[in-house]
Amino acid sequence: MTSYANLPAPSPEQGLNRYLQEIRRFPMLEPEEEYMLAKRWVEDQDTGAAHKLVTSHLRLAAKIAMGYRGYGLPQAEVISEANVGLMQAVKRFDPEKGFRLATYAMWWIRAS
């Protein structure tokens, strides 16, 4: 689906704050653009569209992951798992149902 090499990943060397700054550079999508990208992914398996969908929602994954502070897990690991959930959400998202990806992705992010 997406190339993991092109996605920023939290690491001990970089520090969590650096990762959070890095993901801010990806713009949020307008509903119409999100719909068109999701449609391209579903119909054509366009990995570029999937990549843009994932990167535009990395802040959502990080925000949800931050809600799990205090559970004794390394925050970078929780964010990484949230990103995996986000990728699963993009993979299974059906834009024709009329919902935004963020609404659908919340459940996959929390489940991971």
Q: Domains of the chain (ranges plus CATH)?
A: 4-21+31-111 (1.20.120.1810)
Average pLDDT estimate for 23-32: 96
The Cα 69–Cα 47 span in angstroms is 32
Average pLDDT estimate for 41-66: 97
- Output the CA torsion 9→15→18→24 (10° steps): 50
- Look up the pTM and report it: 0.84
Residues 6+ apart with CB under 8 A from 31: 100
Report phi then psi at 67, rounded to 5: -70, -10
